[in-house]
Structure 1
Amino acid sequence: MHLRLGLMTTIVVSSPQAAEQFLKTHDLIFASRPPLQASKYMSYQQKNFAMAPYGSYWRKVRKICTQNLLSNAKINYFQPIRKEELDLLIDYFKEAARARCVVDISAKLSALSANMTCRMVLGKKCSDYEFDERGFENVVQEGMELIGKPNLGDYIPQITGLDLQGLTKRLKAVAKAYDAFLEKIIDEHVQSKDENRTEDFVDVMLSFEGSEDTEKKIEREHIKAIVLFLGCSTYFINKPIFPLDMR
């Protein structure tokens, strides 16, 4: 079934046979995401893992993420980090029990997961970074909200410049905050002289900077886009509470 959303033709897959055509027979044709206005600002022109068009660059990035975050070797490599964060949480629970404080266990477990992931990807807990005067969680939450909002400019390209909903202005502001945050992270890694620190995902991506074995040369913008997707998305999904206090 065809629909018209503004000037954009939309196909609704409403039968198993049609789904097979889209998801199996012609999968590669429909594998890429459309170039939405939000992805222009929030993924550095679709350079991250989630929004990049299907091709050699996407396959390369998927391989890098899989091998350097999800492989057995990397899971074992980051085991001390996970143990350290788990020990901190256990100590917190012990202290809370002695003080007879009420604890939101779901929030603490979410924070634990986010802390582990941020340390593996960024090298620090997200709360250890300064992120705009609005705070880390507020900026990330606004970014995720803007990505999910329907934008009239995506459906009627001729009115994009008018920014009737004010979304483009907000997207630019959040993207600017993200970029400053990511530049700070990358600069810290480039300038670090500590040879004993645990190599994180940013270090891995920096080792690929300048690589030309894909259809796109991997440059700093690609690194920032990928790190932003992995780090900030994980933080938002887990909805952690920083710092781990007892209120």
Structure 2
Amino acid sequence: MAVTAIITKTRQKRRRPPGPRPLPIMGHLHLISAIPHQSLHALSARHGPIMELFLGSLRCVVVSSPEVAKEFLKTHEAMFSNRFVSAAVHRLSYGSKGFLFAPYGTFWRFAKKICMSQLLGARTLDMLRHVREQETLRFLRVLKAKGKSGETVDVGGELLTLTNNVITRMVLGRTCGESDADVEGVRKMVVDTVELAGKFNVADFVWFCKGLDLQGMKKRLGEIMDRFDGMMERAISEHQEERKRRKENGEGEKIKDLLDILLDIHEDESTDVTFTRDNVKALIMDIFMAGTDTSAITIEWALVELINNPHVMEKARQEIDSATTNNIRLIEESDLSNLPYMRAIVKETLRLHPTSPILGRESSEDCNVCGYDIPAKTILFINLWSMGRNPKLWENPLEFRPERFINIMGQENHDEFDVRGQNMQLMPFGTGRRVCPGASLALQVVPTNLAAMIQCFEWKVDGSVSMEEKPAMTLPRAHPLICVPVPRLRLSF
């Protein structure tokens, strides 16, 4: 009896989450497709809302329910405050010297304070509102010109140019070149960066492949970093020269862009944390990675859903028409408080198409969660995409129905479905310490530009619109959305 009790007790101490049987060396890699969140969703349907997988030699826990996610990210948040950092991400972030992928600690807290209070705080966003307005007008003029001539538009490509220009001007005070070749070059750099950051690299998971470049990623990473670093070095030098000139000439202070703010911190010798030139560049890379294609992708998915659901498009137009007094002017960011249905459309889009379909963390120490023993260095995957399609959480989950976020008074049900991480059922920007600091910017850029596209154009497509997804760290569409934007108003912009 005593021996049996000891064995039972030992097994209880070593209790692991359920999961499929792994193969030697490969673990469960053979079960993961090119689009991991879809594979993990299918596996969770068989093995439950918490399961253990081995990706090569790395132990992982996959969670697909808000209740279990809360245990990991709220109750045991201190043990899961680090991110898993792949070799590609480590390289792209200058050795994890930015904010997104820095290990939890003194520097990370310092960087978060910079992001929340200075770079992406309400005061800075308000000061740079004119940048976003100007780029929206430029975007609409391009669409209007093409629509008048009956030309088709690659909507995703134009949206990426829009968001890239917004971020570049907010960060650097200018766009990266005015020629089509310059704009296309920067746009391609952003797309390649996000693709490589999210691409599966066998060397990250299979121990005997460490140091090997079986997929040729090192060369591509080197090319991207050379382009980005060259761009940043030129921008930093230009900013430093202008700052010196203004100081020598006694000129008044200009409206600071985000690089100016970071250079102020870099040059401040009184800070408790050393903030190097690489830290400056890494934080800028973070902002490009997190703020450019993510917003463009969300707007594109939203427009696709509206095209496939014309009654939702019409209801949104009626709300916009009312807010602009029957279209006597263009919709603005200041109108968002009067557009509860538009905000509900964005929430519904993020439910079905979360910009980052999988939320990743890494355990910093051994812990016990939900009765399971989780060793240190275990990778935690929260499958947001799966939770958004769970019929136990959402009525008719595959239906695009923004009304689910509107209460009986016709207002946005904000308290129940806050998207900033308070509700585990819908947390597209993460939650807790690692919540995305750019949520406020995204929640201005996305609904404002989507509303302008709805207000100003009818969107004509040839045939059905594909809903297929493409592998990446974010959730891009596999096929471009090609439309003719037919102008519907006589507004001058």
Q: TM-score, normalised by structure 1?
A: 0.79
What is the RMSD of the two structures over their aligned residues, measured on CA atoms?
3.4
Q: Quick check: 1:179 aligned with 2:236?
A: no
Distance 1:106 1:24, change over 3 A: same
Q: CA deviation at 1:182?
A: 1.3
Q: Quick check: 1:71 aligned with 2:121?
A: yes
Unaligned runs of 5+ in 1: 241-247
Q: Quick check: 1:24 aligned with 2:74?
A: yes
Q: Distance in 1 between matches of 2:142 and 2:254?
A: 25
Match of 1:205 in 2: 262
Distance 1:157 1:127, change over 3 A: farther
Whether the 8 Å CA contact 1:31–1:54 is kept in 2: the answer is: yes
Q: CA deviation at 1:40?
A: 2.0
Count of equivalent residues: 239
Tell me which of 165, 172, 175 is aligned to 1:125. 175
Q: CA deviation at 1:186?
A: 1.1
Whether the 8 Å CA contact 2:190–2:288 is kept in 1: the answer is: no
Q: SS state of the match for residue 77, structure 2? A: coil
Q: CA deviation at 1:61?
A: 1.6
Query: Aligned partner of 2:74: which letter?
Result: K
Tell me which of 236, 240, 243 is aligned to 1:190. 240
Match of 1:154 in 2: 204
- 1:183-215 per-residue CA deviation (whole Å, 9 max, x = no partner) reads 11111111123556431000000111155745x
Match of 1:227 in 2: 284
Distance 1:147 1:85, change over 3 A: closer
Q: Quick check: 1:139 aligned with 2:196?
A: no
Whether the 8 Å CA contact 2:119–2:261 is kept in 1: the answer is: no
Q: SS state of the match for residue 54, structure 2? A: strand
The structure richer in helix per residue is 1
Distance 1:96 1:58, change over 3 A: same
Tell me which of 274, 279, 286 is aligned to 1:217. 274
Whether the 8 Å CA contact 1:212–1:218 is kept in 2: the answer is: no
Q: Distance in 2 between matches of 1:36 and 1:94?
A: 42
Whether the 8 Å CA contact 2:135–2:162 is kept in 1: the answer is: yes
Q: Distance in 2 between matches of 1:53 and 1:80?
A: 35
Q: Distance in 1 between matches of 2:154 and 2:87?
A: 38
Distance 1:8 1:112, change over 3 A: closer
The structure richer in strand per residue is 2
* Rg larger for: 2
- 1:114-172 per-residue CA deviation (whole Å, 9 max, x = no partner) reads 3233211121123449999x822222222211111111111124422221222223222
Distance 1:106 1:14, change over 3 A: closer
Distance 1:166 1:60, change over 3 A: same
Distance 1:64 1:152, change over 3 A: same
Match of 2:386 in 1: none
Whether the 8 Å CA contact 2:266–2:275 is kept in 1: the answer is: yes
Q: CA deviation at 1:22?
A: 1.1
Distance 1:212 1:218, change over 3 A: farther
Query: Looking at both structures, which has the greater relative contact order when contacts are Cα pairs under 8 Å and sequence separation is at least 6?
Result: 1
Match of 2:410 in 1: none
Q: CA deviation at 1:221?
A: 0.4
Distance 1:167 1:212, change over 3 A: farther
Whether the 8 Å CA contact 1:117–1:234 is kept in 2: the answer is: yes
Distance 1:175 1:93, change over 3 A: closer
Tell me which of 94, 104, 115 is aligned to 1:44. 94
Match of 1:168 in 2: 218
Report sequence identity in percent.
Answer: 31
Distance 1:232 1:31, change over 3 A: closer
Whether the 8 Å CA contact 2:194–2:289 is kept in 1: the answer is: no
